[in-house]
């Protein structure tokens, strides 16, 4: 006789979401609030990478590092007694995890069950193009969402996996501050952690196979490089990393540059050099879902080769940002819930590297624009001309606009404190097709860092406004006016 407990429980629903990270939670929430019957399957921790090992802990650590740096640099404005700041790294760890704990209820099982979502804390795998199994549940759905995210990927360097280096999934669990943090990877995560740990008292060395900030405007890298080195961070760019070993008290590795080869010894090694999609255990071939190296192959509507199954967020193989995960969820809801043929559009895609100063970008870089447009011009304004920057003694940084000759904004970069808060204006300009003259004529509060956007927009019109024709017209008007 068959034990009834061995028989899979059948669940029929409108939407089944696999993965409770940013994309999955947003899709499940949107569908449930529109009245759909939703099942959410998550084998790990609710909130996914962003809440637990990504955006939230990293920005919390950066906030602590910023506080330490502000204390140390206050003497430049006559504040403080010149004494060294005391870092309690265990308390920093507690701060990071307290922030995670404060946000976690928003992503909790209880909250989603309160929306009417059935939450299953199980692993999922497809058993047919229309069904999957999660624990002792067999689920059929009108639409499926794969939102399983990505995880750190170790480069194929002999010996690297054997020494069990830190990744973003483990570095935020450190209670004791690293004496010397060696970071493999000079991308956004590597650089953010480099500056944060340096400001919290660690010696830091960064090794990258290319150059830092390679995806950003070329004016950003020299500025950031100079500032990071001034803070005491050692940078090895265009370097090879090999022969990693465990040694007494830490790790060592060979680093080779054009200047030569040296063995670096450090207390900890952090690998921040790539990610890979979480798709191996889903049996996607059974579901008729095609994959590639980036994850699930999708069309512009985020549908897989099985039109019932969508892929959102990191696993969809596009830009790997939390805000893209949320954006993808909106595309899914419009398609699957409202029947609208919504498609992804990255023309106004923003990204930020949360250094100090922050590096924020939206739209096309100048190099990308030249590939797509025959006539491209740029506007560049430095924060040394911004009064608020002068009052705060933070004049490093700039704004760069990439435009067509007719003044259509194609992209923007801001390097400055709080650049992440200022870049959204230019995202709106691009996505909303706002005229540059509108930005130039807006009334900006004084003094603010954000005034630089108005200044940059106005700079486009200066040659015409103050040219010979305008001067002649003004001269004529002055003669005719009583």
pLDDT at 7: 56
Tell me what the mean pLDDT of segment 272-298 comes to.
Answer: 96
Place of tokens 């750190």: 152
Place of tokens 């798709």: 279
pTM here is 0.94
Cis bond leading into 357, ω under 30°? yes
Tell me what the mean pLDDT of segment 125-151 comes to.
Answer: 97
Q: Is the pLDDT of residue 2 over 50?
A: no
Q: Using one digit for the tens of pLDDT, what is the confidence trace for 338-353? A: 999 999 999 999 999 9
Walk me through the domains of the chain, giving residue ranges and CATH numbers.
8-46+108-152+276-337 (3.50.50.60), 161-273 (3.50.50.60), 350-465 (3.30.390.30)
Q: How confident is the model at residue 474 (pLDDT cuts 50, 70, 90)?
A: confident
Q: Using one digit for the tens of pLDDT, what is the confidence trace for 79-117? A: 877 667 889 999 999 999 999 999 999 999 999 999 999
pLDDT at 8: 67
Q: How confident is the model at residue 221 (pLDDT cuts 50, 70, 90)?
A: very high
- Among 68-82, 157-171, 210-224, name the one with the lowest average pLDDT: 68-82
Tell me what the mean pLDDT of segment 209-236 comes to.
Answer: 97
Tell me what the mean pLDDT of segment 319-324 comes to.
Answer: 94
> Whole-angstrom Cα distance, residue 312 to residue 150?
11
Q: Is the pLDDT of residue 218 over 50?
A: yes
pLDDT at 480: 84
Q: Using one digit for the tens of pLDDT, what is the confidence trace for 386-396? A: 999 999 999 99
Q: Using one digit for the tens of pLDDT, what is the confidence trace for 397-438? A: 999 999 999 999 999 999 999 999 999 999 999 999 999 999
pLDDT at 11: 97
């Amino acid at each position: 006789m068959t034990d009834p407990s061995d028989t899979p429980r059948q669940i029929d629903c409108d939407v089944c979401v696999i993965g409770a990270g940013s994309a999955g939670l947003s899709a499940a929430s949107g569908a449930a609030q529109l009245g759909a019957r939703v099942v959410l399957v998550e084998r790990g921790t609710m909130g996914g990478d962003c809440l637990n090992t990504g955006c939230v802990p990293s920005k919390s650590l950066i906030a602590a590092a910023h506080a330490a740096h502000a204390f140390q640099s206050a003497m430049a404005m006559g504040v403080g007694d010149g004494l060294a700041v005391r870092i309690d790294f265990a308390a920093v760890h507690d701060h990071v995890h307290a922030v995670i704990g404060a946000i976690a209820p928003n992503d909790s099982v209880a909250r989603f069950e309160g929306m009417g979502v059935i939450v299953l804390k199980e692993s999922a795998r497809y058993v047919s193009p229309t069904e999957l199994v999660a624990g002792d549940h067999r689920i059929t759905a009108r639409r499926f969402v794969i939102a399983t995210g990505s995880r750190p990927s170790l480069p194929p360097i002999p010996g690297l996996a054997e020494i069990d280096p830190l990744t973003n999934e483990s570095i935020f669990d450190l209670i004791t501050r690293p004496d010397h943090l060696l970071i493999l990877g000079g991308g956004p995560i590597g650089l953010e952690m480099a500056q944060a740990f340096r400001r919290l008292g660690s010696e830091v060395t960064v090794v990258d196979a290319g150059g830092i900030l390679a995806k950003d405007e070329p004016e950003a890298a020299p500025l950031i490089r100079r500032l990071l080195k001034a803070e005491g961070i050692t940078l090895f760019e265009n370097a090879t990393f090999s022969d990693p070993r465990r040694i007494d008290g830490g790790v060592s590795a060979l680093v080779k540059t054009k200047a030569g080869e040296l063995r670096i010894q450090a207390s900890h090694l952090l690998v921040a050099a790539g990610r890979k999609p979480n798709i191996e255990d889903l049996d996607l071939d059974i579901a008729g879902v095609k994959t590639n190296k980036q994850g699930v192959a999708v069309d512009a509507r985020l549908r897989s080769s099985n039109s019932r199954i969508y892929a959102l967020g990191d696993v969809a193989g596009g830009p790997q940002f939390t805000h893209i995960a949320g954006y993808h969820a909106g595309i899914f809801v419009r398609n699957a819930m409202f029947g609208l043929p919504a498609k992804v559009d990255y023309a106004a895609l923003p990204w930020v590297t949360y250094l100090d100063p922050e590096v924020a970008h939206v739209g096309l870089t100048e190099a990308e624009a030249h590939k797509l447009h025959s006539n491209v011009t740029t506007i560049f304004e430095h924060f040394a001309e911004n009064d608020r920057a002068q009052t705060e003694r933070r004049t490093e940084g700039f704004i760069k606009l990439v435009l067509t000759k007719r003044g259509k904004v194609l992209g923007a970069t801001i390097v400055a404190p709080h650049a992440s808060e200022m870049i959204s204006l230019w995202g709106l300009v691009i996505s909303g097709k706002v005229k540059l003259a509108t930005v130039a004529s807006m009334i900006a509060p004084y003094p603010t860092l954000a005034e630089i956007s108005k200044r940059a927009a106005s700079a486009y019109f200066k040659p015409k406004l103050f040219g010979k024709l305008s001067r002649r017209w003004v001269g004529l008007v002055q003669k005719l006016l009583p």
